[in-house]
Every structure is written in structure tokens, then in C-alpha cells.
Amino acid sequence: MDQSDKFWDKIAERYSKQPIADEAAYQKKLQVTRQYFRPDMAVFEFGCGTGSTAIIHAPYVKHILAIDISSKMIDIAQGKADAENIHNITFERATIDEFNVPDGSLDVVMGFSILHLLDNKEQVISQVHKMLKPGGIFVTSTVCLNNWMKLIKFVVPIGRLLGVMPLVKVFTAEELVASFTSAGFEIDYQWQPGQNKSAFIVAKKPE
């Protein structure tokens, strides 16, 4: 278990009980995402946390495979799905680096509040591009912390050393879009509910 595993396992119970910070923005992201779904779709979510978003989307697709680095997050997610009688989600403890999905096999990949926590964002975006079928979509919501760069660069190393913060990467929304387009994606939808808010992006693999 590495430092990130330990951090997310430690906060899993508390995380699962936190209210949505911006409920209106979250509902809009859910609504936009559902517009891309079909009942026959295979969906993959990485960094699924305690499974709330996957559980909400499950009735609209054939199957969701959802992974997270934290085994405790996965245990909570499975418990929530069982409680709601949701049976078309498979929850597994894994990172996207460890997970092998055949190229061109997925209709949708979702990654919410995760890209800024990765040390290899560009590599992961390219990996997702390979996973998707032509015309498939990558749906993300990502904290872009560039406006807080000086503070973040000072605080995060100390927080990681103390075990109270995860790895956090700093980039702008424009830099994030450039990462998608460099990997071969087209931006189909982009929205930010306000300054310093998460960038919600639907990136499409050309057909």
C-alpha cells in the first residue's frame, strides 16, 4: 500500500458522508452525461470513490466497471449498490495503470475529480483514448488549480509528508484541454460553473 492508498483509506468513511459541494453543478453534469448514454453501453469509471456517480448512472447503461485505489472506498461503494439493488456495476480495487482493458472496447470512460491527482495525466488520457471505441467519449470533471499555484505548491508537499494530503497536480483548464487534443480527442462539450470551479469536459474519440 502506497501513500495515496493510505490517505484515501483513512478518509473513506468521512468522505462518503460529505455533502456535494455544489449540488446544482453536480446535477447539470449528471444530466449532460446522461445525454450521451444508450442502454447497450459499456462504461468504465476510474477513481470512482464511494460509487455515488456510478450508481446514479447505472440504470441508463448496460454495465459499469468502476475502480478506485482505495479498498475501503470500494467496500463502501459496493455496500451502497447492494442497498439500492443495483446489479450492473462491478466495483474493483485497482488503479488505471494496473487495469488492462482491450483497445477499442469501451463506449464511455468517466473520471471525476481524479486527473489532478495523477502523476501521469497525459499518459492516462492517451490510455483512455486507446480503450474507447471510435466515437466513444471521455467524461471528466477536474479541479484546475493554477490560480492557487503558489499556495498549492507550498502546502501540498508538507501535507503529503504529514499524510494529510494526497498528490495534487497544478494546471489550467486550457492546459487540460490541450492534453486531451494532444492525445487525439475532440472537445464535444466544456463547462465551468464559475471561476476556480472544476472544468467539466466531454472529449470524443473521432469516428
pLDDT tens by residue, 184-193: 999 999 999 8
**pLDDT single digits (tens) 21-31:** 789 999 999 99
Report the interhelical angle of 3-17 vs 71-83 (nearest 10°). 30
Entry pTM:
0.85
In the chain, the number of structural domains is 1
Domain that holds residue 75: 3-204
Output the pLDDT for position 205: 98
- Residue 83's CATH number: 3.40.50.150
pLDDT band at residue 7 under the 50/70/90 scheme = low
Q: What is the dihedral of CA 19, 163, 45, 185, to 10 degrees?
A: 110
pLDDT tens-digit profile of 51-93?
999 999 999 999 999 999 999 999 999 999 999 999 999 999 9
Instruction: Render pLDDT for 163-199 as a digit per residue (tens, 0 to 9).
Output: 444 466 667 889 899 999 999 999 999 999 887 788 9
Contacts by residues 164-168 (CB-CB < 8 Å, ≥ 24 positions apart)? 164/7, 165/7, 166/4, 166/7, 166/8, 166/117, 167/3, 167/4, 167/117, 167/118, 167/119, 168/116, 168/117
